[in-house]
Chain A
């Protein structure tokens, strides 16, 4: 019987957050602290002819002004916690500050540390920058043309290019009874976390730089050390509870700046971005321009998919190659298709950095392929669920990379359950309001790219009173990434969860657990913790076996004791057991490492074989009401169904699905990031609208538990997958309601109305 697993136990951090006691990055102050500020480029593309800092340096209260020339290593190969080198196809540069040339509006040019935030800002204003504007390259499609100015160190502005070549699409299209084609466009999206980028750094008496920062990747301590030309061991990250990440804190944010300023001034320094600074300058979700062609037989069988994907990789490649790779291997979706041809390009432009965002390339292509599925369904007159059921991936089918997916797939069940739960379409009481139903199915990997050779470590120690300590370098973004480790240890060791103290995110004192990205922490650190707990449990059982004269196989752990399964009166309490182990010199601690499957780095642009450890599958079914006069949209119902493998904590899992669903709802309908000549025109939440409580209905979440995941107890990852497939469910429902196919997100009332007007003109 399980002690904690499968139960909606409140997170260990929940009470503190609800009461407002949690200490976030910006809540820290250190005596003698200075304030940092970043001077940023006012041009999207320009040469820096002169940079004069003397006036700012002489301002009283200013302790440091730093520009590129002051930085030991201003330019590094960008890394994201991986300990292997993955080659130029997957790597770009990380530049701390612009040096002689700026590539995007808002690029850092100088850093200031001063006694007050006001002085720091004043000093920034006193730094003189002479720019010579350059021709800005803003359109990724045009940027690929020969002869266009090179934004970065990439020929033809192409940061990376991948291909899928499965089967023979030409023959397959010739044999198809119906072929649909479409061009789709998806926009920028901002992570819009509650907590903007923030941190504080100080230098210890022995010259170690400590950085307390809101980051998804504490392994960035290595890059920061390289920037300063220090040994890796001299830079220490201390994480904080994070007020939302969603991929936006996967790249280095404030930490290099903090380290440089603290190192130069030998004073503690704090730096927190303003909301406008965060919105204007941190990384965004990649806009994609996609051309799709899908061929099907009369019976609905999809025989071929061909896609050309162009992502706007922004001004530094950051994670663009990886995001593009994810999109490429997801291009045909959770379907078995024998013939797939994909050409994908990540193209550099003088626009904000685009990088990781929940879903990581999967939502972009999902919007396109699920729109295509919907079109085929209408063209062939096959119900949307039925069409998908005839094509869904099954165990033993191959993905578009040719990798045979030899695990059970519950996508068909998920889609069916969601669609059935939505029920029959009601008739609209108002002739001006059309009601539509839409379905979107999708897949999303959990765990990192297998050629990154991902690992995680976790440490558990038993105390003499039967309490325990977990140390694990897992950044907790609010998704229960830390908490769930306590639940796993409690289950295995028979501990009450409140007896466990959790230490997370100290790059020098907690075992490195890898990044909180790629929906990997439950899978990776959960397994590392499970492994450690089971070793400890084994030692406990071994000792108890001797004490009780009962064979180990007959023993089980229950809350607070170990007892014989066949003779339950034979038991020993946890405290006497641990004390005996201690007295007899047994090790009461274990540090374990879990390794994901390892594959080799793709040798060419053609992507083949296994790329991810596994996938999570799920579907959304939605009901929309469209006003025929204004295009205004109301979404009364959203049903989500995901196969989560095993819901270790159903409350957390539902929270992830609701959060991801709503974030996807914003992506689909309301979040309209306007950008003109490389400059974002929506620098606040008054212009850039994330959905609020009054815009979103209650999400109905249904969990399937196939028990087939690679995580502890058969769990799959659920952090990112709910971001995938709600957008096409909504646009497919709009089509069902009023016959307008929205091919570019967000699906605003204006686009819907203009679509209806065009229809009237066209169709009469």
Chain B
């Protein structure tokens, strides 16, 4: 049974921010997480603030200034955007793996981040792309790096009265990325692990983020240095595997054991590196 709550659907950002200052207020976008929580009695929300009518959350642009994705953008809108697919395919790749087509018609990218699940599929791509979350409150706007946005399992850094307007991905001249996910079945399931990688070989950049292997997605530290130092792909691979095993902290849960997650991480890193650097001979540092 869903306990009673007050519902509002403001048309102005200011109204929404005021409403969100109330005790036990929650923003509603797609509702694919919130409604489940309400039904299971896991959310104490008393004020539901529907943000689907606020113009500031509808932006979606891809340009010189980078990529901007507003709070209303659904996962299917991202998955189906040709322009996004050409510019930055890993976001659509990740979006396509979430739940079912029906859920993706409702669920939003920003909602996926706000739930702050360690297994959030959109998180690893945004971590490796260096995204920032733009948060509004009555005091104004604030840009928060995505790593700081994730605080712990199902815990983000938002305070009462704050609302995520959009996610911003900085512009980058060149580079390529990969997203991979392993679930228990091919049908809908949360990730057992998910992994995103991004490299700009000219700039010597390599970023790897691993989801569902710690309280928050784990962006590997020192991967750039490792990449710049490695004399061949195999050395990079071995180094990354060690780095990852040191930095992740998976748990046993009903989807998999920690040990299986660790095995998968090494396998997926291998696959990822082979896709990011397809030719052994193309190794830039050799």
- A contacts, CB < 8 Å to B: 117-118, 121, 276, 629-630, 632, 670, 672, 674, 681-682, 686-687, 689, 691-695, 748-750, 753-754, 757
Can you offer 7 A-B residue contacts whose CB atoms are under 8 A? A630-B264, A674-B254, A689-B189, A692-B185, A695-B185, A695-B186, A750-B256
Query: Do A670 and B254 touch across chains, with their CB atoms under 8 A apart?
Result: no
Main secondary structure of the interface of B (DSSP, over half): loop
Contact partners of A691 in chain B: CB under 8 A = 185, 187
Tell me, rounded to whole Å, the shortest Cβ–Cβ distance linking B43 to chain A: 16
B188 located at the interface, meaning its Cβ lies under 8 Å from any Cβ of chain A in the complex = yes
Query: Do A689 and B185 touch across chains, with their CB atoms under 8 A apart?
Result: yes
Query: Do A681 and B187 touch across chains, with their CB atoms under 8 A apart?
Result: no
Query: Do B185 and A670 touch across chains, with their CB atoms under 8 A apart?
Result: yes
Closest to A687 in B: B254
Contact partners of A681 in chain B: CB under 8 A = 254
B24 located at the interface, meaning its Cβ lies under 8 Å from any Cβ of chain A in the complex = no
User: What CA separation (Å) do A672 and B183 show in the bound complex?
Assistant: 14
CB-CB contacts of B37-51 with A at 8 A, as 1s and 0s?
000100000000000
Query: Do A750 and B260 touch across chains, with their CB atoms under 8 A apart?
Result: yes
Contact partners of B186 in chain A: CB under 8 A = 692, 694-695
Closest to A117 in B: B1
Query: Do B1 and A695 touch across chains, with their CB atoms under 8 A apart?
Result: no
Query: Do A692 and B254 touch across chains, with their CB atoms under 8 A apart?
Result: no
CB-CB contacts of B88-119 with A at 8 A, as 1s and 0s?
00000000000000000000000000000000
Q: Which of A117, A629, A748 is B184 in contact with, Cβ under 8 Å?
A: A748
Tell me, rounded to whole Å, the shortest Cβ–Cβ distance linking B1 to chain A: 5
Query: Do B254 and A672 touch across chains, with their CB atoms under 8 A apart?
Result: yes
Query: Do A757 and B263 touch across chains, with their CB atoms under 8 A apart?
Result: yes
User: What CA separation (Å) do A693 and B263 show in the bound complex?
Assistant: 28
User: What CA separation (Å) do A753 and B182 show in the bound complex?
Assistant: 14
Q: Which of A121, A629, A672, A689 is B187 in contact with, Cβ under 8 Å?
A: A689
Tell me, rounded to whole Å, the shortest Cβ–Cβ distance linking B233 to chain A: 17
Query: Do B1 and A632 touch across chains, with their CB atoms under 8 A apart?
Result: no
Query: Do A754 and B254 touch across chains, with their CB atoms under 8 A apart?
Result: no
User: What CA separation (Å) do A685 and B150 show in the bound complex?
Assistant: 27
CB-CB contacts of B176-195 with A at 8 A, as 1s and 0s?
00000010111111100000
Query: Do A692 and B187 touch across chains, with their CB atoms under 8 A apart?
Result: yes
B267 located at the interface, meaning its Cβ lies under 8 Å from any Cβ of chain A in the complex = yes
Query: Do B187 and A754 touch across chains, with their CB atoms under 8 A apart?
Result: no
Query: Do A630 and B184 touch across chains, with their CB atoms under 8 A apart?
Result: no
Q: In residues 232-270 of chain B, which contact A (Cβ within 8 Å)? A: 254, 256-257, 259-260, 263-264, 267, 270
Tell me, rounded to whole Å, the shortest Cβ–Cβ distance linking A561 to chain B: 53
User: What CA separation (Å) do A356 and B167 show in the bound complex?
Assistant: 52
User: What CA separation (Å) do A350 and B259 show in the bound complex?
Assistant: 30
Tell me, rounded to whole Å, the shortest Cβ–Cβ distance linking A256 to chain B: 23
Tell me, rounded to whole Å, the shortest Cβ–Cβ distance linking A6 to chain B: 36
Contact partners of A750 in chain B: CB under 8 A = 256-257, 260
Q: In residues 266-281 of chain B, which contact A (Cβ within 8 Å)? A: 267, 270
Closest to A693 in B: B187
Contact partners of A686 in chain B: CB under 8 A = 188-190
User: What CA separation (Å) do A587 and B197 show in the bound complex?
Assistant: 81
Contact partners of A692 in chain B: CB under 8 A = 185-188
Contact partners of A757 in chain B: CB under 8 A = 263
Query: Do A629 and B267 touch across chains, with their CB atoms under 8 A apart?
Result: yes
A630-B263, A693-B187, A757-B263 known, 10 other contacts, Cβ within 8 Å: A630-B264, A672-B184, A686-B188, A687-B254, A691-B185, A692-B186, A695-B185, A748-B184, A754-B259, A754-B260
Contact partners of A117 in chain B: CB under 8 A = 1
Query: Do B189 and A118 touch across chains, with their CB atoms under 8 A apart?
Result: no
Tell me, rounded to whole Å, the shortest Cβ–Cβ distance linking B132 to chain A: 30
Contact partners of A693 in chain B: CB under 8 A = 187
User: What CA separation (Å) do A118 and B57 show in the bound complex?
Assistant: 35
Q: Which of B182, B189, B190, B270 is A632 in contact with, Cβ under 8 Å?
A: B182
User: What CA separation (Å) do A292 and B189 show in the bound complex?
Assistant: 35
User: What CA separation (Å) do A686 and B40 show in the bound complex?
Assistant: 13
Tell me, rounded to whole Å, the shortest Cβ–Cβ distance linking A636 to chain B: 12
Tell me, rounded to whole Å, the shortest Cβ–Cβ distance linking A630 to chain B: 6
Closest to B268 in A: A630
Given contacts A630-B267, A689-B184, A691-B185, contact A118 B1 (CB under 8 A): yes
User: What CA separation (Å) do A670 and B192 show in the bound complex?
Assistant: 14
Contact partners of B189 in chain A: CB under 8 A = 686, 689
Listed from nearest, the 6 A-B pairs whose CB atoms lie closest are A692-B187, A750-B260, A629-B267, A121-B1, A674-B254, A694-B186
Query: Do A695 and B260 touch across chains, with their CB atoms under 8 A apart?
Result: no
User: What CA separation (Å) do A632 and B182 show in the bound complex?
Assistant: 9
User: What CA separation (Å) do A324 and B188 show in the bound complex?
Assistant: 35
Closest to A692 in B: B187
Tell me, rounded to whole Å, the shortest Cβ–Cβ distance linking A275 to chain B: 10
Contact partners of B182 in chain A: CB under 8 A = 630, 632
Query: Do A682 and B254 touch across chains, with their CB atoms under 8 A apart?
Result: yes
Given contacts A672-B254, A674-B254, A682-B254, contact A753 B187 (CB under 8 A): no
Tell me, rounded to whole Å, the shortest Cβ–Cβ distance linking A445 to chain B: 32
User: What CA separation (Å) do A133 and B75 show in the bound complex?
Assistant: 47
Tell me, rounded to whole Å, the shortest Cβ–Cβ distance linking B4 to chain A: 8
Closest to B266 in A: A629
Contact partners of B40 in chain A: CB under 8 A = 276
Tell me, rounded to whole Å, the shortest Cβ–Cβ distance linking A542 to chain B: 59
Tell me, rounded to whole Å, the shortest Cβ–Cβ distance linking B71 to chain A: 24
CB-CB contacts of B1-12 with A at 8 A, as 1s and 0s?
100000000000
User: What CA separation (Å) do A692 and B256 show in the bound complex?
Assistant: 20
Contact partners of B259 in chain A: CB under 8 A = 754
Tell me, rounded to whole Å, the shortest Cβ–Cβ distance linking A698 to chain B: 15
User: What CA separation (Å) do A152 and B248 show in the bound complex?
Assistant: 46
Closest to A750 in B: B260
Contact partners of A753 in chain B: CB under 8 A = 260, 263
Contact partners of A748 in chain B: CB under 8 A = 184
Q: In residues 54-97 of chain B, which contact A (Cβ within 8 Å)? A: none
User: What CA separation (Å) do A117 and B3 show in the bound complex?
Assistant: 12
Tell me, rounded to whole Å, the shortest Cβ–Cβ distance linking B194 to chain A: 14
User: What CA separation (Å) do A630 and B195 show in the bound complex?
Assistant: 15
Give the one of B188, B259, B260 with max A CB within 10 A: B260
Tell me, rounded to whole Å, the shortest Cβ–Cβ distance linking B281 to chain A: 21
Contact partners of A276 in chain B: CB under 8 A = 40
Contact partners of B1 in chain A: CB under 8 A = 117-118, 121
Tell me, rounded to whole Å, the shortest Cβ–Cβ distance linking B72 to chain A: 24
Give the one of B40, B186, B256 with max A CB within 10 A: B186
Give the one of B182, B190, B264 with max A CB within 10 A: B264
Give the one of B184, B254, B263 with max A CB within 10 A: B184
User: What CA separation (Å) do A493 and B145 show in the bound complex?
Assistant: 78
Tell me, rounded to whole Å, the shortest Cβ–Cβ distance linking B174 to chain A: 30
Given contacts A629-B267, A632-B182, A753-B263, contact A695 B256 (CB under 8 A): no
Contact partners of A682 in chain B: CB under 8 A = 254
Q: In residues 127-168 of chain B, which contact A (Cβ within 8 Å)? A: none
User: What CA separation (Å) do A705 and B46 show in the bound complex?
Assistant: 63
User: What CA separation (Å) do A672 and B192 show in the bound complex?
Assistant: 14
User: What CA separation (Å) do A686 and B255 show in the bound complex?
Assistant: 11
User: What CA separation (Å) do A749 and B182 show in the bound complex?
Assistant: 11
Query: Do A694 and B187 touch across chains, with their CB atoms under 8 A apart?
Result: yes
